Structures are given as C-alpha cells and as structure tokens.
C-alpha cells in the first residue's frame, strides 16, 4: 500500500483543534491520542471532543489511539462515533479478538498497539482479526520523545508475520518520527507514520506532511 502520514494533534495547539486540523489538509489521517491518566501518566481528550471533531471535519480520516484502561468497554464508542480507525493497546484489552471484531462490526478499522516492551510474537494468531498494528517507538504518554531504534527489529518481525499470513496489514509507527528517522522505519516495513512535533512545530505543517510522504515514497519505491 501507499505510505500514509497521520500527524498527531497531541503536539498541536489543543485549544484550537479545528484550526490546527485545517493546517494539515494533505494529511492522510488525523492521529488523536486519548489518555486517561491510568494506562499512561497523562490526561488528554475523550469521546465528547472526538464527536465534535467528527462533526466539524466530516471528510477527515480519524485515527484514534486509545491509551486507556478498560479498552474493551470504551473503544467501540469511538467506532460508533464514526472514527475510521480505532487502536487499542493489547496490554489494556481483556478480550482483544472480541474487541477487534466489535470495532469492525461498528465500521472502523481495528488496530492493536504494543508498548515498546511488548513482543508481537504471542499475538501472531490475532493478526487476521486486525487491520493495523501500531508499534510504539517511544514509551506512550507524552509527545516530543526521541525515537527508539531498538524497536526496528520488532517492526521487521511484524511485517514478516503479516507477509507469512498473506495479510494486507498496515504497520504504524508512533514516536519520534521525523525526516531523520522515517527512512529506517520504511526499511523495517512500516507504512503508516505518526508525526507530531516534526509537523506542528514547523511554520508550515502541511509542507512537512508532504515532505515526509515524499521521503517515505522515495525510500519504498512508491515515488
């Protein structure tokens, strides 16, 4: 598949989310982090705000990343709100297969995220239930962290498992993605890239989105 850039609004001006989203019209998706101050030590937005964003940006691809406890209870609500992709952390899911099926039944792409210390191997049999795997390349909870190169082998293993199963599985990386790190992610097998600081700290965020996609396409041979 073509490479996708999903800017993270965690690093934007959270008091002006509509305006910030309007600054990145060429993005392939809007990555929205939901944190509950339990699963991770940070607190961000929740379902009521996301419902407003869905209404105000009906054509945007909303890519939800739920860093919350009790994902089984709360994740389906984001799919029912019309979000195109909903990611739950496997560490926070009691019944990940049922949850993935519930998300798909509600019309969303089902995605599973892994903390840096969580191996993909035990979840090989779950991959057919999923549309995307999110490999965290920083510890979840805060933006602006440095990319963890030690996650590259996990990305490679995940891509290899997807190929082994014959799956068209998106592999997303989140954390420290920039023009300095995206080539390594492409080489490892990722094709969906969450970039926060690199995008929203720029004077022209949308130009960064386009530049990152062009860089990834050139590296992967899609240019």
Domain CATH for 182? 3.20.20.70
Number of other CB atoms surrounding residue 180 within 10 Å: 10
User: Is the predicted pLDDT of residue 24 greater than 70, yes or no?
Assistant: yes
Residues annotated as catalytic are 33, 174
**pLDDT at residue 142, rounded to an integer:** 67
Q: How many independent structural domains does the chain possess?
A: 1
- For residue 41, what are the domain limits? 4-220
Q: Is the dihedral of CA 67, 126, 170, 156 positive or negative?
A: positive
User: Is the predicted pLDDT of residue 223 greater than 80, yes or no?
Assistant: no
Selection from 88, 15, 27 nearest residue 57 by Cα? 27
Per residue in 76-121, pLDDT tens? 999 999 999 999 999 999 999 999 999 999 999 999 999 999 999 9
């Amino acid at each position: 598949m073509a490479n996708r850039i999903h800017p993270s609004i965690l690093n934007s001006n959270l008091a002006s989310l509509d305006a910030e989203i309007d600054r990145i019209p060429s993005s392939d998706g809007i990555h929205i982090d939901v944190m509950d101050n339990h699963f991770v030590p940070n607190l961000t937005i929740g379902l009521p705000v996301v419902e407003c964003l869905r209404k105000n940006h009906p054509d945007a691809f909303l890519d939800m990343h739920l860093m919350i406890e009790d994902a089984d209870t709360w994740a389906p609500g984001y799919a029912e709100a019309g979000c195109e992709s909903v990611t739950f952390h496997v560490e926070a899911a009691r019944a990940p297969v049922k949850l993935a099926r519930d998300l798909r039944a509600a019309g969303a792409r089902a995605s599973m995220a892994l903390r840096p210390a969580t191996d993909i191997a035990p979840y090989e049999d779950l991959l057919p239930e999923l549309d995307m795997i999110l490999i965290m390349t920083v510890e979840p909870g805060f933006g602006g962290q440095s990319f963890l190169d030690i996650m590259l082998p996990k990305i490679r293993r995940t891509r290899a498992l997807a190929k082994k199963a014959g799956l068209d599985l998106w592999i997303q990386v989140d954390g420290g993605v920039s023009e300095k790190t995206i080539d390594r992610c492409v080489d490892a097998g990722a094709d969906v890239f969450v970039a926060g600081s690199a995008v929203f700290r720029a004077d022209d965020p949308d130009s960064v989105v386009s530049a990152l996609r062009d860089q990834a396409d050139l590296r992967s041979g899609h240019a």
